[in-house]
């Protein structure tokens, strides 16, 4: 179900209580064999499951089994999977590595650091690319991430709406690039063959079937790209090329006097 892969699909009030939880919000009258179980432990177990098998492997029952409790015990800590997904998202956002911005650091380097940090996060937690985040949970992780990443655009002469839009544009590119890279990794894994190996295996047949006179541009450009990529596709090349174009586009928004900061 789409709902089970979307953020913000649970009870908003209960989700916010859990996101900003403290000792006073801990559930009373805990049941089950694990009296020491906490919301934190539940979220940690859920993240580990998703890291190992993706969102398809994540269910309240699977989390309960991992923790050695019954599903009913788990529901005394987290109302359901929708709220759990929000807690998982906020946790990995809170813990992600963040590059410190030096006062005199060029803006392109700051923005590139934001992009690289988010790419690394997707590759560390591939299930994030499967999650629809239209309404992000406004927890400490989401807010810390947003505050930090806006700092890459601070002082560049952009108004507040432009800063928010620039960040959203950057993160949208990173998510798209990460999805493509994760898809490529999945194809390699499922076929037990890398792009380079696939190309070597099929090159003789393609050479016999492919008409270079009929497709002169495709032949020339395709061959050049295959050599550059060392295969049919290079996630690193695509990411680097795309990020450079995003930075070039953002540069058009920045007043000349602020661009050197």
Q: What is the spatial distance between Cα 7 and Cα 15, in angstroms, rounded to a whole number?
A: 11
pLDDT one-digit tens code per residue, 70-100: 999 999 999 999 999 999 999 999 999 999 9
Domains 2-94 and 97-259 share a fold: no
Token pair recorded at residue 66: 């991992």
Q: Can you tell me the distance from the alpha carbon of 91 to that of 116, in angstroms, rounded to the nearest whole number?
A: 19
Identify which has the larger pLDDT, 89 or 258.
89
User: Which one is predicted more confidently, 184 or 30?
Assistant: 184
pTM over 0.95: no
pLDDT top residue among 230 and 113: 113
pLDDT of amino acid 13:
87
Residues recorded for the chain: 261
* Candidates 1.10.150.530, 3.40.50.2300, 3.20.20.210, 1.10.357.10; CATH matching 97-259: 1.10.357.10
Give the separation between CA 16 and CA 21, rounded to whole angstroms: 8
183 against 7, higher pLDDT: 183
For residue range 197-234, what is the model confidence (pLDDT) as tens digits?
A: 766 666 676 666 677 778 888 878 877 877 777 767 78
Per-domain boundaries in the chain: 2-94, 97-259
Query: Which homologous superfamily does the CATH classification assign to the domain defined by 2-94?
Result: Homeodomain-like (1.10.10.60)
At residue 245 the predicted structure's pLDDT band, cuts being 50, 70 and 90, is: very high
């Amino acid at each position: 179900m789409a709902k089970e892969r979307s953020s913000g699909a649970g009870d908003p009030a209960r989700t916010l209580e859990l996101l900003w939880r403290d000792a006073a919000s801990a559930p009373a009258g805990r049941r089950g064999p694990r009296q020491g179980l906490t919301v934190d432990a539940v979220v940690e177990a859920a993240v580990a499951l998703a890291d190992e098998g993706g969102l398809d492997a994540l269910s309240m029952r699977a989390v309960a089994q991992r923790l050695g409790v019954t599903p009913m015990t788990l529901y005394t800590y987290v109302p359901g999977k929708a709220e759990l997904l929000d807690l998982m998202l906020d946790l990995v956002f809170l813990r992600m590595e963040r590059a410190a911005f030096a006062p005199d650091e060029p803006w392109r380097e700051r923005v590139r650091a934001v992009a690289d940090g988010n790419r690394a996060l997707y590759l560390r937690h591939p299930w994030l690319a499967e999650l629809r985040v239209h309404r992000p949970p406004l927890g400490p992780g989401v807010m810390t991430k947003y505050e930090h990443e806006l700092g890459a655009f601070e002082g560049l002469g952009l108004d507040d709406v432009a800063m928010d839009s620039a960040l959203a544009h950057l993160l949208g590119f990173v998510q798209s690039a990460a999805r493509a890279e994760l898809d490529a990794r999945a194809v390699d894994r499922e076929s037990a063959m890398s792009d380079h190996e696939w190309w070597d295996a099929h090159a003789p047949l393609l050479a016999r079937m492919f008409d270079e006179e009929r497709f002169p541009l495709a032949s020339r450009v395709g061959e050049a790209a295959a050599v550059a990529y060392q295969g049919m596709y290079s996630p690193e090349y695509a990411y680097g090329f795309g990020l450079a174009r995003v930075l070039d586009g953002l540069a058009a928004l920045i007043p000349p006097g602020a661009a050197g900061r």
